[in-house]
Amino acid sequence: MSGDLGLFGPDSVTWRLHREPILMLGGLRSLYLQALHPRAVAGVTQNSNYRSDPWGRLTRTSTYVGTVIWGTTEEARLAASRVRRLHARMTAVDPRTGERFRIDEPELLRWVHVAEVESFLTTAVRAGVRLTSDEIDRYYTEQLKAAELMGIDPTTVPATAAEVTAYYDEVQPQLSLTRESVDTALFLTVPSVPRSWGGRAFRLGLTLGPTRWAYFGIAATAIGMLPPWARRLYGGLGWPGTDLTADLSARGLRLLLSTVLSTIPRSLRVTPMREAALARAAAASGS
């Protein structure tokens, strides 16, 4: 439908927030956070080929998020339906109890949703995106639509910043660092990088080139931006200066991205999905 602005639209905080390239850092932060839930990380590691195709999986995840944010209502629903059918066939084994469980359990879906949207929002704000407290709450409330698409009862999902804080307090006793958490975090920090990205590199068990060092700095910032309780679960990194250092790094990265992207033609820096959404919005406003 040409006039369909999708789930959110140009007046939403969601559209305003998701035009920010720094959200890629928020996505990485959310993966570190999600990995602290033993069942959630088991569901990924036991059903995913992320180790053999990390960039492909990242692309597919980014495409899904982009479709939900910028696509028409029908495009978002179809994308969510495909993911839900895929998840409905998957199970995993709890590494602590040996129990087999479905990966689309409401508790797990809720954890992944909250960790993702809170990471997007927190990273953007700490990187310098200015939002009022009302706008922050509006973002969480708007994202109930995304949660419902994935089959989560929206009445069970935190819809304000205060509710997210309360949810994290409630769920923390269920979180822990398992072997799969460690393996996932290490892979996120030092992933496989196509050889062509690194230029002339040398090996010390790992390929180390300029691209890898740059990515390592981004990963360190993502870890530094985790809540202190999450950093402690990873074995420390709860020092008072960690938050300030991470904030400064995120602000610097946002400025760098803005500067670099300003030199790139619009057709290369704005995804077709977002371009189509903006065109529908312009047509709907009569401009």
Q: Tell me the mean pLDDT in the region 96-120.
A: 97
Task: Say if CB 214 and CB 228 are below 8 A apart.
Answer: no
Q: What is the pLDDT of residue 238?
A: 58
- In whole angstroms, give the CA distance from residue 23 to residue 40: 22
pTM of the model: 0.91
Q: Is the pLDDT of residue 43 over 70?
A: yes
Q: Phi/psi zone of residue 151: left (φ > 0), alpha (ψ -120 to 50 degrees), beta?
A: left
Sign of CA dihedral 55, 61, 63, 69: negative
Q: If you ran DSSP here, which 8-state letter would residue 204 be given?
A: S
Task: Say if CB 143 and CB 117 are below 8 A apart.
Answer: yes
Task: Say if CB 206 and CB 186 are below 8 A apart.
Answer: no
Return the domain boundaries, the chain: 13-285
**Tens digit of pLDDT for each residue in 157-187?**
999 999 999 999 999 999 999 999 999 999 9
**Tens digit of pLDDT for each residue in 218-249?**
999 999 999 999 999 998 755 667 889 999 99
Which whole-number Å values give the CA distances from 138 to 9, 96, 158, 274, in the listed order? 13, 37, 12, 21
Q: Is the pLDDT of residue 33 over 50?
A: yes
- In whole angstroms, give the CA distance from residue 63 to residue 26: 16
Q: If you ran DSSP here, which 8-state letter would residue 226 be given?
A: S
- In whole angstroms, give the CA distance from residue 15 to residue 70: 8
Q: Is the pLDDT of residue 93 over 90?
A: yes
**Which residue bears the tokens 């700490």?**
126
Q: Which residue has the higher pLDDT, 2 or 38?
A: 38
Q: What is the pLDDT of residue 246?
A: 94
60 — phi, psi (to 5°)?
Answer: -65, -40
Residue 196's H or E segment, with its range, is: none
Q: What is the pLDDT of residue 196?
A: 47
pLDDT grade for 55, boundaries at 50, 70 and 90: confident
- In whole angstroms, give the CA distance from residue 254 to residue 221: 12
Q: Tell me the mean pLDDT in the region 247-253.
A: 96
pLDDT grade for 77, boundaries at 50, 70 and 90: very high
Pick from 5, 246, 15: which is nearest to 123 by CA? 246
pLDDT grade for 50, boundaries at 50, 70 and 90: confident
- In whole angstroms, give the CA distance from residue 167 to residue 72: 31
- In whole angstroms, give the CA distance from residue 121 to residue 285: 28
